[in-house]
Chain A
Amino acid sequence: MSEPVILVEDLYKSYGAVEAVRGVSFAVQEGEVFGLLGPNGAGKTTTVEILEGLRTRDRGVARVCGLDPDSSGERFKERIGAVLQSTSLPDKLRVKEAIELFAEFYRRRADTDALLRRFQLDEKRSAFYGQLSGGQRQRLALALAMVNDPQVVFLDEPTAGLDPQVRREIYDIIEQFRREKKTVLLTTHYIEEAERLCDRVAIVDHGRVIALGAPRDLKQRSAGTTRIEVRLARRLLNGAGASLEGVTDCREFDGRYVLHSVQPPRTIVALVKQLEAENNELQSLEMFSPSLEDVFIELTGRRLRE
């Protein structure tokens, strides 16, 4: 296997007494779309900002294209593109001017008009940044990340806070990056984003990588189980959920019970009987095939967006 484009080994970073990153390690190969999946505060942004050269690490190894982001300066910046968790530009800067401005900082420059067309900003080329919608701003942020035709693209929660339609548009753009063989490091707390876009995923929690692999392989951990989420009128008696037929795991989140079952029909029948016995009432029931959310619950006992 060739040398990884992104290499992180035993990375540590603290802010005062808070340890944001505690020994994170992973490697990303050329052309791979790699995801850091985890809840808010897991250490994803700190990790990616260390790799972008925006933060210095306390210890450990961080390499991008064989370069140390801390000390490689312009040579490093010429090779990366990045979308920050929150991109800000001056309100009175026009869309086309923003792309031209950032392109001028690099030796290798993409064509401005081509970028405007590609990111569907052609009609907004003369609009001020302050007049753009959230989706248009994010498309502009993606266009700015591509002005130097980078080898590696960092995307820090690129769809956070966007409506589903815009999110799908961003997914299409990221899939285009994959077709162009760009190496992409993506952070997200959206399960469907990681499952749809990433070749491999590192699940991060409390500053550590708790699982790493292809989404399909990770989901194998929960293979054969179905997630059943139920809302009840009252809480179940102690231990009743876990003892239902077919149930391998039962946890309560925000008044909902999340059951993992290897025999869903039998589990549902047993649940109904249990509710009758307790004089309880079923308010809603949903069934899901295994997802990365299940992997996260199994590993941490928490839901991803708690």
Chain B
Amino acid sequence: MNHAWTLTKMRVRLATRNRAFFFFSFVMPLLFLFGAVLFFARGSGGRIAYVLGAILTLTVMGSFWGLSVQLVTFREQGILRRFRLAPVSAGAILASSILSNYFLSLPVFVLELILCRYAFHLRSWGNLWAILALVTLGSAAFAALGLIVASVTNTMQETQMINNLIWTGFLTLSGATIPLALLPPWIQRVALFIPATYLATGLQSAARNLASAGEIAIDLVALALGLGVAFEVSRQLFRWEPEAKAPRRAKWWVVAVMIPFLIFGAWENMSGDLLSRVNRNFQSLRGNIPSVGMPLGR
């Protein structure tokens, strides 16, 4: 753990010296926030809470890109080889990716909350503890998912291509951008198998203080399981050498990552609890945003 902490400090330091990182991690999320408030929630405290949930989700999901791209760069440039000579484990390097990503994102989360509360007239803080827990576990889980992509791809181009594909799915199907309640019922059911849906629903509920502790706990368990499996899989698939290719067994490990979400997706499809919460979150906005009256999945 000491080595992971040492590497975390180094990676935070390096990120703060990188202008591109500053733009994508600090400026872009705030631009999203201003844009979303301007277009969807100007002058409405109720809608601000919904927008805050969505924006926090987008910021957390940004961890998926985060430092996984840097890890591929380190591998391609032969930097990881130098670390391999030292008594440093793959787990320490991966943990440092997750931790540094979290510490670098934390000021953005705080800034988004403060801006919404004081500049955009958010009526209450919502369930702050739930927000903190979801943001913490969510950023770790999504960073770990990004690390798997970094492990199974051989070049930066491949990494960015696959990241874009998965990212698009997360953006459109999770409810972070288009409210899930507005999507056709079969898409809502498919969305229950996506980790981003648990995060988006959890944060939207927590920001409006609409979810019970038990409901938030389900989101947290889903994210924690996803984090645990994704971290272990990325550790198994970790490659130090630029010329080392992803092993054939990699695809089976990737399937393993999906198991927790397949189980949760099947469970939620049967119980309908998560879709009820999605519906509740959306209904709470009725009167504030144009009603489309699309029926939910159940």
Residues on A close to B: CB < 8 A? 52-54, 73-74, 77-78, 80, 82, 84, 86-90, 92-93, 97, 101-102, 104-106, 144
Contact = CB atoms under 8 A, between A and B. Distances in A.
A84 B18 contact: no
Contacts of B87: 73-74, 77-78, 105-106
A102 B81 contact: no
Given A84-B82, A88-B78, A90-B74, A105 B88 contact: yes
Contacts of A104: 2-3, 6
A54 B86 CA distance: 11
A101 B85 CA distance: 13
Contact of A92 (B17, B74, B82, B85): B17
A69 to B, nearest CB: 11
A97 B6 CA distance: 11
Contacts of B17: 92
B81 A105 contact: no
B1 to A, nearest CB: 13
Interface in B83-98: 84-88
Interface of B: 2-3, 6-7, 10, 13-14, 17-18, 74, 77-79, 81-82, 84-88, 240-241
Contacts of A144: 82
25 contacts: A52-B85, A54-B240, A54-B241, A74-B87, A77-B85, A78-B87, A84-B81, A84-B82, A84-B85, A86-B78, A88-B79, A88-B82, A89-B82, A90-B14, A90-B74, A90-B79, A92-B14, A92-B17, A93-B10, A93-B14, A101-B7, A102-B86, A104-B2, A106-B87, A144-B82
B79 A105 contact: no
Contacts of A86: 78
Contacts of A82: 85
A80 B10 CA distance: 23
B10, B81, B85: most-surrounded residue (chain A CB, <10 A): B85
B81 A54 contact: yes
Contacts of B7: 101
Given A54-B81, A77-B85, 16 more contacts: A54-B84, A54-B241, A74-B87, A87-B78, A87-B82, A88-B77, A88-B78, A88-B82, A90-B14, A92-B18, A93-B14, A97-B10, A101-B6, A101-B7, A104-B6, A106-B87
Nearest to A54: B84
B86 A105 contact: yes
Nearest to B5: A104
Nearest to B241: A54
A88 B82 CA distance: 7
B81 A106 contact: no
Contacts of A53: 84-85
B14 A77 contact: no
A46 B17 CA distance: 36
A104 B92 CA distance: 13
Contacts of A73: 87
Contacts of B79: 88-90
A105 B1 CA distance: 11
A74 B2 CA distance: 14
Nearest to A145: B85
Contact of B6 (A52, A89, A105): A105
Contacts of B240: 54
A87 B88 CA distance: 17
A144 B84 CA distance: 13
Contact of A105 (B3, B13, B77): B3
Contacts of B86: 77, 102, 105-106
A105 to B, nearest CB: 4
A89 to B, nearest CB: 6
Contacts of A78: 87
Contacts of B77: 88
A233 to B, nearest CB: 46
B243 to A, nearest CB: 9
A77 B14 CA distance: 26
Contacts of A89: 79, 82
A58 B7 CA distance: 33
A149 to B, nearest CB: 14
B242 to A, nearest CB: 10
Nearest to B79: A88
